[in-house]
Amino acid sequence: MSYQNLLITEDNPFITVTINREKALNALNQQTMSELARFFGEDLPQRDDVRGVILHGAGDRAVVAGADIKEFTSLQGEDGANMARRGQAVFFMIERSKVPVIAVIQGFALGGGCELAMACHLRIAGEKARFGQPEVNLGIIPGYGGTQRLIQYIGKSKAAELMMTGDMLGAEEAYRLGLVNYVVPMGEEMGKAKELLAKIATKGPRAIEKVIESVNAYFSTSEDGFETEVKSFGEVTLTEDFKEGAQAFVEKRSANFTGK
């Protein structure tokens, strides 16, 4: 089946999925989100021969620089909440995949990009990778599960700081905090991901599937937090600050927030 914004490369028993919008730093527009849903929700579950997936972004500047800001500047309230809910559903498909999904991060993993990497089971970062949830710069909050998963990986204290300041983490600090599994020299990220997948593929596929299910089950009590995120996301899209923040990004200037 054909995709517009995803490149699917098969190297049996592994598949590499490349988000292919390099000019927009692979920002997640709705077309890309639909294609990720199709791949992880429909195509991959039908493939008994696949033992693992590598997910990355085209080029080396960004795995994904966030949700596509240019596309959601006019979002409001219930529409915002629905978009966040749909996005969360796509990322749950990745997290609940029966085969391991490894994110390869060569550059920026920001906003929805950091959320996407966190929905994968393992993360390999190049030494120039940078992670962050800079949504507050736009007057909004993470909406694709970031408020919940960032805490799961790095703890409440640091996660709250990152989400409130919009600051970025370098690869080494992301490793120290437990956000990524390995940091490797630039250019070696894919090799490391393939090496890990090959090792996992020597184990029993049903056992790997059950490890994934059981690890996910540990966090199942956080489902209410995901719902709170959806509602909050809808609410912040009603603010004047969101209009100003998104407009400022498009106009390449600093935002002037008023608290309205």
Query: Which residues are part of the catalytic machinery?
Result: 115, 135
Residue from the set 15, 36, 63, 65 that interacts with ligand CO8 by CB under 6 A: 65
CB closer to ligand CO8, 159 vs 208: 159
Q: State the DSSP H helix or E strand holding residue 52, giving kind and residue range, or none if neither.
A: strand 52-57
The pairs formed by 217-222 with CB atoms below 8 angstroms and a separation of 24 or more are: 219/148, 219/152, 222/148, 222/152
Residues 140-169 vs ligand CO8: string with x where CB under 6 A?
Answer: --xxx-------------------------
CB closer to ligand CO8, 99 vs 148: 148
Residue from the set 44, 63, 84, 193 that interacts with ligand CO8 by CB under 6 A: 84
Residue from the set 112, 126, 139, 234 that interacts with ligand CO8 by CB under 6 A: 112
User: CB of 120 within 8 A of CB of 103?
Assistant: yes
CB closer to ligand CO8, 32 vs 137: 137
Distance (Å, rounded) from C-alpha 13 to C-alpha 11?
A: 6
- Give the HSE-up count for residue 85: Cα atoms under 13 Å, Cβ half-sphere: 13
| Residue 66 interacts with ligand CO8 (CB under 6 A): yes or no | yes
Residues 225-244 vs ligand CO8: string with x where CB under 6 A?
Answer: --------x-----------
CB closer to ligand CO8, 14 vs 144: 144
Q: Which of residues 21-60 bind ligand CO8 (CB under 6 A)?
A: 24-25, 27
At residue 169, the 3 state secondary structure works out as strand
Kindly list the distances between the CA atom of residue 154 and the CA atoms of 41, 148, 186, 216, in Å, as whole numbers in the listed order: 28, 11, 24, 16
**Beta-bridge mates of residue 52:** 14
| Residue 100 interacts with ligand CO8 (CB under 6 A): yes or no | no
